[in-house]
Amino acid sequence: MEKFTAMNEKYYEENPVILDYNTEREKLAMPEYGRNVLKMVEDVKRIPDRAKRSEQARAVVRVMELLNPQVHTADNWEQKLWDHLYIMAGYDLDVDSPYPVPAPEQRMSRPEIIPLKNKPVKATHYGRNIESIIDLIAGEPDGEQKTAMIRSLAMYMRQQYLIWNKDSVADETIFDDIEKLSDYRIRVPDGLTLSRISSDSNFSRPGMNIDFATVRKQGGQQKRFGRKGNKR
């Protein structure tokens, strides 16, 4: 046994185990295909015969398709696979491709920034639609109809305010918000009041309006009848 152990120690001294970590390797240009596919591409590049090299390149593209099936969602998915093949080959691959060789500059270039038409929301707890309604009301002539529109708007804004903020809010706070959001194009008429909020009103946030009494009742029914509602 001691002789066997000594032989093992001598073997590993002469042939040390070298661990090859991915963190120490070159970064993959297309990590979604893995390092084994990269090795395939490198082997294809070393094939001297162009016809054989092209044949093996098509086989590698087929493997890439199997490893990346979500590529089929794109309209030009087959061309994308060939582009990825050239990227992994460092754009140095002389094969018969059904598509033109992509230029390295295409991958390095940044996409154009799409300008946003919408301005930032001034008051997020009211939402963007409120600003559109305020713009509409601001263009109305003064009169009873405009006052009625302001009152309806204020009541809706009060409801939104109570959902996301405090349990109560003064009418004057809502009126001030209307005037500020309109850049003071709207002036709330003096003496305008809003109807009182009923004590039964529920302004819970979306997804939080739960009737716990109903939940408890349903839980009791499940205990009596079992999961599927059948008597035990």
pLDDT at 227: 44
Tens digit of each residue's pLDDT (9 = 90 or more) over 206-222: 544 444 454 445 454 44
| Beta carbons of 177 and 126 less than 8 angstroms apart | yes
pLDDT band (50, 70, 90) for residue 75 = confident
CA dist 139 and 122 (Å) reads 19
Share of the chain above pLDDT 90, in %: 38
Report d(CA 26, CA 23) in Å as an integer.
8
pTM here is 0.42
| CA-wise closest residue to 80 among 32, 119, 48 | 32
pLDDT tens digit sequence for 173-185: 999 999 999 999 9
Q: Is 102 helix (H, G, I), strand (E, B) or coil?
A: coil
